[in-house]
C-alpha cells in the first residue's frame, strides 16, 4: 500500500523574518504527523516532507497563507514506508549552500527547459552538459554524455567550473551550457553563477531529474541508472519508482547489493566506501548510535538525536 505522500518544494524569495517562521511551521507539521526536513533562510525555503496526504496538504496550505509563498510549487511521490523518521525545521544562511556572495537566483538564474524539450537540447553537440550533483549521486545514474565534476559538496562546484576545460572560451565566445540536478534548486544557483562569470547561454532542467523521470517515457529517456534522493527511498527510477539501493547510515552514500553483502558493511557503522575513512572512536560512536536506533525501532520511538541530512533534492 502507498500510504505515505512525499512533497518536495523550494522557493527563492526574501524571508527576512525567517527565524520567526520556524516555531509555527514546526507546530503545524507535528500536529499533522508530518516528518522530514524544512530549511529556512533569508533567501527562501527548501524542503522535503512526508506523511498522510491530508497532513502534507495541510502543511502546504499553512505555507501558502504567507503571501510570499502563495505560488509555492511542489512535487509529489508515494511510498509504502515512511521516507523520514523525524521532523526538523532548520535555520540556515542559505537553503542550498554555494557560498558565493552577491549571487541572486531570482535575478541571475539561467533559462528553464521543460523535461519534454530537454532531450533536444542536450543532443546538440555544441552544448556542454554538466551534472551539478555530488560524486556519490552521479555514481548511480546520470544523463548520457554529462560531465561529472566529481565533487564532495555543492560548494565545491564554483572551483571546478572555473578550471573546467570544456568551459573555456573559443575565439572569444563562451560555450552554451546545460545543467541539471535532482530537483532544480542547485541549478538555480549554478546557472546564476555561470551568468555572473559572463556566460550568456545557460540552461537548466525545469523540475530537475525527478520531473524528467516523472514526465518522459522510459523508451524516450536519455537518463541512465537511478536517481539518488535524500530520504529513505534512497533512489528512484523512471516513473519515480523506488530503486533497489540501500543506504550507509554512517556516510549517507547509496549502496548496491554487492556493497550490502560485503564483509566491510556493518549497519549504521561502515560500508566499503567509508570503512577506511573513519577512526576506531568514530566507529564505536556509530555502533552506539546504531544500538540506540535499534532499541528505539523496537519500541516504535523516534531515535534521540538522529541526524537528518539537509535536503538537496528539490
Domain 105-225 indexed as CATH 3.30.950.10:
no
Residue 1 reports pLDDT greater than 60: no
Name the helix (H) or strand (E) containing 62. helix 53-64
C-alpha span between 308 and 197 (Å, rounded):
34
* pLDDT on residue 54: 96
What is the average pLDDT score of the chain?
90
pLDDT band, residue 45 (cuts 50/70/90): very high
If you average pLDDT over residues 237-260, what whole number do you get? 86
Cβ count near 30 (within 10 Å):
12
pLDDT band, residue 193 (cuts 50/70/90): very high
C-alpha span between 7 and 75 (Å, rounded):
5
If you average pLDDT over residues 116-132, what whole number do you get? 98
Please tell me which residue, 175 or 8, carries the higher pLDDT value: 175
* pLDDT on residue 248: 87
pLDDT band, residue 2 (cuts 50/70/90): low
Please tell me which residue, 2 or 207, carries the higher pLDDT value: 207
CATH class of residue range 4-91: alpha beta
Specify the pTM: 0.81
Annotated domain spans of the chain? 4-91, 105-225, 245-314
C-alpha span between 110 and 204 (Å, rounded):
6
Residue 233 reports pLDDT greater than 90: no
Residue 310 reports pLDDT greater than 80: no
Helix residue spans in 236-279 (DSSP H):
257-261
268-309, pLDDT tens digit by residue? Answer: 888 898 888 888 888 888 888 888 767 766 776 544 444 444
DSSP result, 96-154: S----TT--HHHH--EEE-HHHHHHHHTSTTEEEEE-SBHHHHTTEEETT-B---BSSG
Query: Which residues are the active-site residues?
Result: 181
Half-sphere exposure of residue 156, counting CA atoms within 13 Å on the CB side? 9
Query: Do residues 227 and 210 make contact, with C-beta atoms less than 8 angstroms apart?
Result: yes
74-112, pLDDT tens digit by residue? Answer: 988 888 788 888 999 999 999 999 999 989 998 899 999
If you average pLDDT over residues 186-198, what whole number do you get? 96
Where does residue 185 rank: exposed (0-12), middle (13-18), buried (19+ CB within 10 A)?
Answer: buried
Residue 225 makes CB contacts below 8 A (sequence gap 6+) with: 140, 141, 142
Name the helix (H) or strand (E) containing 211. helix 208-215
- Residue 173 per-residue DSSP state: B
134-147, pLDDT tens digit by residue? Answer: 999 999 999 999 99
Backbone angles phi, psi at 135, to 5 degrees: -60, -40
pLDDT band, residue 41 (cuts 50/70/90): very high
Where does residue 256 rank: exposed (0-12), middle (13-18), buried (19+ CB within 10 A)?
Answer: middle
* pLDDT on residue 246: 85
Backbone angles phi, psi at 12, to 5 degrees: -85, 115
Residue 313 reports pLDDT greater than 50: no
* pLDDT on residue 303: 47
Amino acid at each position: 500500500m502507498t500510504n505515505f505522500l512525499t512533497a518536495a518544494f523550494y522557493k527563492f524569495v526574501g524571508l527576512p523574518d525567517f527565524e520567526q517562521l520556524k516555531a509555527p511551521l514546526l507546530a503545524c507539521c507535528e500536529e499533522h504527523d508530518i516528518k522530514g526536513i524544512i530549511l529556512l533562510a533569508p533567501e527562501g525555503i527548501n524542503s522535503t516532507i512526508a506523511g498522510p496526504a491530508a497532513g502534507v496538504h495541510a502543511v502546504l496550505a499553512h505555507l501558502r497563507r504567507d503571501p510570499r509563498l502563495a505560488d509555492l510549487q511542489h512535487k509529489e511521490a508515494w511510498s509504502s514506508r515512511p521516507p523520514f523518521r523525524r521532523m526538523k525545521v532548520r535555520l540556515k544562511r542559505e537553503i542550498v549552500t554555494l557560498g558565493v556572495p552577491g549571487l541572486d537566483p531570482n535575478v541571475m538564474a539561467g533559462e528553464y527547459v521543460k523535461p519534454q524539450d530537454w532531450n533536444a537540447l542536450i543532443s546538440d553537440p555544441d552544448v556542454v552538459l554538466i551534472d551539478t550533483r555530488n560524486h556519490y549521486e552521479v555514481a548511480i545514474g546520470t544523463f548520457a554524455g554529462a560531465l561529472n565534476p566529481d565533487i564532495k559538496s555543492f560548494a565545491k562546484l564554483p572551483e571546478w567550473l572555473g578550471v573546467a576545460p570544456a568551459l573555456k572560451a573559443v575565439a572569444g565566445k563562451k560555450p552554451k551550457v546545460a545543467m541539471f540536478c535532482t530537483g532544480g534548486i542547485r541549478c538555480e544557483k549554478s546557472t546564476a553563477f555561470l551568468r555572473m562569470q559572463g556566460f550568456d547561454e545557460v540552461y537548466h532542467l525545469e523540475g530537475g531529474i525527478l520531473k524528467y523521470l516523472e514526465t518522459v517515457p522510459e523508451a524516450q529517456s536519455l537518463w541512465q541508472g537511478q536517481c539518488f534522493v535524500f530520504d529513505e527511498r534512497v533512489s528512484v527510477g523512471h516513473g519515480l519508482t523506488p530503486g533497489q539501493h540501500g543506504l550507509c547510515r554512517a556516510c549517507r552514500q547509496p549502496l548496491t547489493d554487492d556493497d550490502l553483502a560485503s564483509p566491510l558493511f556493518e549497519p549504521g557503522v561502515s560500508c566499503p566506501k567509508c570503512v577506511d575513512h573513519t577512526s576506531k572512536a568514530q566507529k564505536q560512536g556509530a555502533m552506539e548510535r546504531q544500538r540506540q536506533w535499534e532499541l528505539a525501532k523496537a519500541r516504535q520511538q523516534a531515535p534521540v538525536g538522529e541526524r537528518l541530512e539537509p535536503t538537496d533534492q528539490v
